[in-house]
Amino acid sequence: MATVNIRINGKKISKEVSDSTILADFLRDGLALTGTHVGCDTSQCGACVVHLDGISVKSCTTLVADCDGSEITTIEGLASNGKMHPMQEAFKKHHGLQCGFCTPGMVMSAVDLLQKNKNPSELEIRDWLEGNICRCTGYQGIVAAVKDAASKM
Amino acid sequence: MANLVGARIERKEDKKFLTGRGNYTADINLARQTYACFVRSPHARAKINKVDISKASKAPGVVKILTGEDLAKDKIGGLIAGWKIVSQDGKDMKIPPHPPLAKDSVNFVGDHVAVVIAETLEEAKNAAEQVNVGYKIQKAVVNTADAMNSEAIHEGIDRNLCFDFLLGDKGKTDEAFSKADKVVKLDLVNNRLIPNAMEPRAAIGDYNPSSEQLTLYTASQNPHLDRLILSAFNAVHPEHKFRVVAPDVGGGFGSKINAYAEDVVVAWASKKIERPVKWVAERSESFLSDNHGRDHVTHAELALNNDGKITGIKVDTIANLGAYALVFATVTPTYLYAPLLLGLYDIPTACCTVKAVYTNTAPVDAYRGAGRPEATYVVERIITEAAKEIGMDQAEFRRKNFIKKFPHQQCLIHNIDSGNYDAHLDKALELSDYKNFENRRSQSAKKGKLRGIGFSTYLEACGIAPSAVVMSIGAGVGLWESAEIRFNATGNISVFTGAHSHGQGHDTTFAQIVGDKLGVPIDNIDIVHGDTDKGPFGMGTYGSRSVAVGGTAIVKACDKIIEKGKKVAAKMLEGKPEDIDFKDGEFILKNSNKKKTIGEIAFACYLPGTFGDIKSPLPEGVEPGLTETSFFDPSNFSFPSGSHICEVEVDEETGETKVVKYTVVDDFGTIINPLVVEGQVYGGVAQGIGQALYENAHYDESGQLTTASYMDYTMPRADNFPQIKLDYTSTPATSNPLGVKGCGEAGTIASPPAVMNAVIDAVGTDVSMPATAEKVWKALKKNGSKKAAA
């Protein structure tokens, strides 16, 4: 067991966790932040992507015990003051989601891309999103959304 | 206001998903909840000697362990095949027992043997490992083509044959073939796929012993049907005390149609322990136990004259059902397949046989398109070969054989009401810049790439389905749809539909239809679905039926609202109902400036009297309230069609194939929301490209699924696709008042042959799906380099 002090979506949290607790489970079961989804068991699908100290990580393969002292942002923390993040707005505008299951991870991943590359090409967007699987959209609306968000951020 | 239908409106449901406030089954946690872990067979085929739970029962946290014996003791029924198929010899199909927990034998890796219920998931998993199952392993039957020559896996089912189905006129077809100038022959394999909705299946049973109410939360495409099956066939609980909720569902593609073993078991187990029982599939469980799709082995022949006119088609298919027959498993390779082998061509004779076989693999059922992609793959591949053999242009050969006049009675079942196939082909040729293809081929060759082009002009039968028709050919249910429009006193509307949205955007599309019909702003309309306690019984969403059937039920319920509103308005406006016009949300007395808004009428219906300023006595014989229900049963299927043109580049050194250009022109009749429809097409095409180039469910000889994770089963990813070009033509359907034809499956139906025809054009020799780099590279080596020729 270990005590971890984390700031999640701006809120300080101090909790006792077992050494094997996975961040995705901790968010979903421990904090009822069910926006982070678990879509596979091999760290392939990307539905669980959150930001750890501003960088996108797959929360299904991150141990909470390793997150002590860090800042975590989940999909629930992306909008501010009731206003959706430009990336969220762009996904809506370009129909970048259908069933919504991969969406939180997809959006968090895309936001990180724009932090690293302010004006990515279509190829760069597709390449970056290779770690997030969507079964509904064929990625076309998603790619359009990321391009559009880049022009607004 | 009447301009919502056809408008590109952003989806009402998006915000909750984008902000992490969706509510999927796995997100639901109930007081006193327990966790279920299934003990699954590690063997493809075995007799069960014993299921010893003594050690596992003593493991920490275990609440209950249930086995097939317990299930039999409680007389819980088996899982069902919902559609009866009759063989050529007049005998009924053969269905093996399919208990939700196996008692005597297991028949695929992942088959359910026992369930362990514990206080935590970890405890349930740990205890499950201690359940000692004694298996006597038997030789597995895995291969589709060999199944009939293998040992029978189910008692009393000779040759593992479920049925030997025939559709068409064998005599006439043989005659056409004997007179033909040319016969083209083709052997094809339609590869087995795993649907892979991104939300793994999940189910929570919640029994309240005091009220005797049972609630099942489940990731289902059709909660009403799930309740009906669990109640009527599995005898889990009486229907009137049984609520099934399918909340937000993360994709389905057919894999969430079935009433699954897990649904039955968690619902039943919750009754036994009087606590909620929650199960969430891990992805590996989804791979093993979700229904798979496709898996056909086919021989096809096409008869034609020297002038390019097709005179007949003959198809013999072996369809792999897997270990058991599921709800739509038997109709998928028969009535949803065989009639579509005619495509959108005027082919005067046809004959198709389908032998459905059992094997020790996961059960196969409807997967996006269900039968129609398999049929389209056959017809579009053989048409392409035929055009090549007689040296006609791919587009012109198709055009020559298109159905030209409507309605058109095909020689197999379908009467096609409307279409204009030249129109979408012309548009697709233009949009894809077909005339300059050879230039692009030369450009690619300069980069060391082999470029190929492939066509697929498809027809599908959607809007599933007219009950009278489907019940006459074996359906166990009618496939109508329901709707209820509940006008609230304050003027806003709740619409209850029996259709179910798991990504299709019904909250928006249906609201657009109601908004136009009743003249109410879209934000004042809420669509309610997915809960058997809320709306009327409905059949759910599959077969591109939601708008064609469910949307029409909504239109009809709106008509009833308007009808009643006219009577109420007539009284208030001192006229006759026949003198009231309804337009843009207002009831207007003819030849006057007197009118009432629909909101005022709704208010009056809830306050039927006179008090102070309120003067709204209802006319005699008119009941208070403003709620109307309608059930719609279509008169015919709807028939979307379209032209897809695909161009690929193949790397000669590596065999890697990339789709570099993809053009779609679809005729879906009326389009309600282009934004939503585009999404359906893009997603469908991506799944079809996935089948053609990447995806394959593979079992080894012992029946182990060797592609049971995303490390081994290639899911298409963002970098596998180009931008898809999309446009429409429109000939409205005549079988529903909206004129809609359905768009959900078209992409998946049309694209595999378009891609494969392009690959084969590039490589110059046959390649089977999926055209992986390895296969293409081998084909190139075998065929010799085409580089010089290009």
- Chain-chain contact of B682 with A134 (C-beta, under 8 angstroms): no
Residue B445 three-state SS: helix
* Contact status of B788 with chain A (Cβ, < 8 Å): no
- Chain-chain contact of A45 with B283 (C-beta, under 8 angstroms): yes
Chain B residue at shortest CA distance from A99: B503
Residue B53 token pair: 């739970």
pLDDT of residue B789 exceeding 60: no
* Contact status of B530 with chain A (Cβ, < 8 Å): no
| Helix B394-401, helix B421-431: angle, nearest 10 | 170
B171 contacts: CB under 8 Å, gap ≥ 6 = none
> Chain A partners of B682 at a C-beta cutoff of 8 Å?
137-141
pLDDT of residue B523 exceeding 60: yes
pLDDT, tens digit, 9 for 90 and up, residues B259-292? 999 999 999 999 999 999 999 999 999 999 999 9
Cβ(B692)–Cβ(B751) under 8 Å? Answer: yes
pLDDT band (50, 70, 90) for residue A136: very high
- Chain-chain contact of B198 with A93 (C-beta, under 8 angstroms): no
| Helix A140-152, helix A103-116: angle, nearest 10 | 40
Q: What domains appear along chain B, each with residue ranges and CATH number?
A: 14-138+201-280 (3.90.1170.50), 296-464+636-783 (3.30.365.10), 480-632 (3.30.365.10)
pLDDT for the residue numbered B1: 46
Alpha-carbon distances, residue B114 vs A6, B52, B127, B268, B600 (angstroms): 40, 10, 11, 13, 59
Supply the pTM of this predicted model. Answer: 0.97
Cβ(B629)–Cβ(B557) under 8 Å? Answer: yes
pLDDT of residue B783 exceeding 90: no
Cβ(B709)–Cβ(A42) under 8 Å? Answer: yes
pLDDT for the residue numbered B612: 86
Site from A18, A19, A60, A140 to mutate, B interface, most B CB atoms within 10 angstroms: A140
Site from A42, A87, A136 to mutate, B interface, most B CB atoms within 10 angstroms: A136
- Chain-chain contact of B717 with A28 (C-beta, under 8 angstroms): no
Please report the ipTM that was assigned to this predicted complex: 0.98
Q: Which residue of B248, B679, B709 is in closest CB contact with A141?
A: B679
- Chain-chain contact of B683 with A138 (C-beta, under 8 angstroms): yes
pLDDT for the residue numbered B742: 95
Interface of B with A in 742-761 (CB under 8 A): 747
pLDDT for the residue numbered B610: 85
Bridge partners, residue B651, by sequence: B449
Cβ(B13)–Cβ(B507) under 8 Å? Answer: yes
Cβ(B512)–Cβ(B4) under 8 Å? Answer: yes
> B764: burial class by Cβ within 10 Å (0-12, 13-18, 19+)?
middle
> What value does the mean pLDDT take over residues B194-208?
98
pLDDT, tens digit, 9 for 90 and up, residues B561-618? 999 999 999 999 999 999 999 999 999 999 999 999 999 999 999 998 888 887 778 9
Query: Residue B317, Cα to own-chain centre: how many angstroms?
Result: 21
pLDDT for the residue numbered B2: 58
Cβ(B92)–Cβ(B104) under 8 Å? Answer: no
Alpha-carbon distances, residue B669 vs A101, B242, B469, B516 (angstroms): 30, 39, 22, 18
> Chain B partners of A34 at a C-beta cutoff of 8 Å?
20, 23-24, 26-27
Give percent of chain A with pLDDT exceeding 70: 100
pLDDT, tens digit, 9 for 90 and up, residues A38-94? 999 999 999 999 999 999 999 999 999 999 999 999 999 999 988 999 999 999 999
Q: What domains appear along chain A, each with residue ranges and CATH number?
A: 2-76 (3.10.20.30), 86-152 (1.10.150.120)
- Chain-chain contact of B724 with A140 (C-beta, under 8 angstroms): yes
- Chain-chain contact of B679 with A95 (C-beta, under 8 angstroms): yes
Q: Which residue of A91, A101, A142 is in closest CB contact with B18?
A: A91
Q: How long a stretch of residues is chain A?
A: 153
| Helix B674-689, helix B746-763: angle, nearest 10 | 40
Q: Which residue of B18, B711, B715 is in closest CB contact with A97?
A: B18
* Contact status of B678 with chain A (Cβ, < 8 Å): yes
Q: How many CB pairs under 8 A join A and B?
A: 176
Chain A residue at shortest CA distance from B22: A35
pLDDT, tens digit, 9 for 90 and up, residues B139-160? 999 999 999 999 999 999 999 9
From B689, B693, B667, B661, select the one nearest B749 (Cα to Cα): B689
Pairing of strands B657-667, B481-487: unpaired
Q: Specify the DSSP class assigned to residue B716.
A: -
In angstroms, the CA B124 to CA B369 distance is 37
The alpha-carbon gap from B15 to the nearest alpha carbon of chain A, in Å, equals 8
Cβ(A113)–Cβ(A149) under 8 Å? Answer: no
> What value does the mean pLDDT take over residues B192-208?
98
Strand order in the sheet with B580-583: B580-583, B586-589, B595-597
Give percent of chain B with pLDDT exceeding 70: 99
Task: Locate all alpha helices (DSSP H) within B4-156, ordered by sequence.
Answer: 14-18, 54-57, 68-73, 121-128
- Chain-chain contact of A133 with B717 (C-beta, under 8 angstroms): yes
Q: Specify the DSSP class assigned to residue B493.
A: E
Average predicted confidence (pLDDT) for chain B: 96
pLDDT for the residue numbered B478: 87
Type and span of the H or E element at B438: helix B437-446
- Chain-chain contact of A76 with B21 (C-beta, under 8 angstroms): yes
pLDDT for the residue numbered B785: 56
From B776, B701, B729, B500, select the one nearest B44 (Cα to Cα): B701
pLDDT, tens digit, 9 for 90 and up, residues B35-47? 999 999 999 999 9
Type and span of the H or E element at A3: strand A2-8
pLDDT of residue A129 exceeding 70: yes
pLDDT for the residue numbered B169: 98
The alpha-carbon gap from A128 to the nearest alpha carbon of chain B, in Å, equals 9
In angstroms, the CA B715 to CA B697 distance is 11
- Chain-chain contact of A134 with B502 (C-beta, under 8 angstroms): no
The alpha-carbon gap from B696 to the nearest alpha carbon of chain A, in Å, equals 15
pLDDT band (50, 70, 90) for residue B768: very high
pLDDT, tens digit, 9 for 90 and up, residues B391-422? 999 999 999 999 999 999 999 999 999 999 99
Cβ(B300)–Cβ(B173) under 8 Å? Answer: no
From B465, B463, B430, B409, select the one nearest B732 (Cα to Cα): B463
pLDDT of residue B90 exceeding 70: yes
Residue B726 three-state SS: strand
Lowest mean pLDDT among A67-76, B131-140, B453-462, B535-544: B535-544
pLDDT band (50, 70, 90) for residue A153: confident
Residue B523: CB atoms within 10 A of its CB come to 10
